[in-house]
Copies of this chain bind each other. A is one copy, B any other.
């Protein structure tokens, strides 16, 4: 690796002190110097190809201009747009993000957080937490600024960017009710994850509010946000033998898996069963059965999260923020009039 150009190199080249160079290169302090001096230094820096050593800067200033971002799984198409939203905003403010994934493993998440703490990240954006989450606790305990996005914890100890799952469920339900469905099943997602939990309770509460009695046989648990989990849950639902004309799946992958299993058992979607998903994952409109779903503003969530962590950094004593974004129903071809 070629020897790096340092402040000292520029200083010697110009016959001035390193601090002069440092001042000239920093917009905050450059006004201390004559315009002429500034020009000279900047020119020399350009000429020699100077790039500031962020490590030294960080060591000195005690902040690294870095934000750690942890997502459960890069392969789940929900997260890349969030990450992109985060990076977009952070880069603009000359922050860098370090991404890691937790594989939905709480220990891994904590390991990553410690690793990043060692890298002096200034704060965290977590899309990975469970409703109870040791990694969030760790951050709080160590007074490391942290905000949660998409998923969050139950305890009211941290800034949150979430979507209004109640509203999402309401829109899904209203849509199905309008189509005449009354026997509406739910494939719930893991209850230790906020989205799974909130959607589950929203379903129960809203059904009741609409005067529909809850049939416990119509509620099954998927043990992950995945296709396979959707298939399996549907298998169980069908095995129970209770009749239904519509299914609300806790996310799109589960919904797609559901449709697959329905068809395998000779039920067509939407002719026999309507299905609605959650999240509006990319390219969903291109799927075999274009899924009616609840669209969530992922990139915007990411941006808001980035904005919020920077505010929190600037103002650690700001009251806890809780930002709720509105999802919206996207009707496609997996839902139809109830024929029952």
Q: In the complex, what distance in Å separates the CA atom of A155 from the CA atom of B120?
A: 38
For residue A26, CB closer than 8 A to chain B, the reply is no
Copies in the complex: 2
For residue A64, CB closer than 8 A to chain B, the reply is yes
Cross-chain contact B145 with A55 (CB below 8 angstroms): no
Q: Among residues 81 to 132 in chain A, which have CB atoms less than 8 Å away from a CB atom of chain B?
A: 81, 83-84, 87, 91, 96-101, 114-120
Inside 8 A of A256's CB, which chain B residues have their CB?
283, 286
Contact of A287 among B1, B142, B143, B288 (CB under 8 A): B288
Closest CB-CB distance, A84 to chain B, in whole Å? 5
Closest CB-CB distance, A249 to chain B, in whole Å? 14
Contact of A55 among B52, B59, B144 (CB under 8 A): B59
Q: In the complex, what distance in Å separates the CA atom of A119 from the CA atom of B65?
A: 10
Cross-chain contact A55 with B99 (CB below 8 angstroms): no
Cross-chain contact A1 with B59 (CB below 8 angstroms): no
For residue A319, CB closer than 8 A to chain B, the reply is no
Inside 8 A of A323's CB, which chain B residues have their CB?
none
Inside 8 A of A64's CB, which chain B residues have their CB?
55
Main secondary structure of the interface of A (DSSP, over half): mixed
Inside 8 A of A81's CB, which chain B residues have their CB?
75
Also in contact, A98 and B101, with CB within 8 A (given A1-B144, A1-B145, A143-B1) = no
Instruction: List the B residue with the shortest CB-CB distance to A76.
Output: B80
Q: In the complex, what distance in Å separates the CA atom of A145 from the CA atom of B2?
A: 10
**Interface size on A (CB < 8 Å)?**
47
For residue A77, CB closer than 8 A to chain B, the reply is yes
Q: In the complex, what distance in Å separates the CA atom of A96 from the CA atom of B144?
A: 20
Q: In the complex, what distance in Å separates the CA atom of A98 from the CA atom of B74?
A: 14
Closest CB-CB distance, A287 to chain B, in whole Å? 5
Q: In the complex, what distance in Å separates the CA atom of A96 from the CA atom of B101?
A: 12
For residue A54, CB closer than 8 A to chain B, the reply is yes
For residue A56, CB closer than 8 A to chain B, the reply is yes
Closest CB-CB distance, A73 to chain B, in whole Å? 9
Q: In the complex, what distance in Å separates the CA atom of A207 from the CA atom of B307?
A: 54
For residue A243, CB closer than 8 A to chain B, the reply is no
Contact of A96 among B54, B56, B98, B282 (CB under 8 A): B98
Contact of A75 among B55, B84, B287 (CB under 8 A): B84
For residue A53, CB closer than 8 A to chain B, the reply is yes
For residue A51, CB closer than 8 A to chain B, the reply is yes
Q: In the complex, what distance in Å separates the CA atom of A87 from the CA atom of B100?
A: 8
Inside 8 A of A52's CB, which chain B residues have their CB?
118
Instruction: List the B residue with the shortest CB-CB distance to A143.
Output: B2
Closest CB-CB distance, A147 to chain B, in whole Å? 15
Q: In the complex, what distance in Å separates the CA atom of A56 from the CA atom of B119?
A: 9
Inside 8 A of A56's CB, which chain B residues have their CB?
59
Inside 8 A of A99's CB, which chain B residues have their CB?
97, 99
For residue A58, CB closer than 8 A to chain B, the reply is yes
Q: In the complex, what distance in Å separates the CA atom of A77 from the CA atom of B77?
A: 8
Q: In the complex, what distance in Å separates the CA atom of A84 from the CA atom of B64?
A: 25
Cross-chain contact A119 with B145 (CB below 8 angstroms): no
Q: In the complex, what distance in Å separates the CA atom of A287 from the CA atom of B290?
A: 9
Instruction: List the B residue with the shortest CB-CB distance to A142.
Output: B2
Cross-chain contact B1 with A51 (CB below 8 angstroms): no
Cross-chain contact A84 with B101 (CB below 8 angstroms): yes
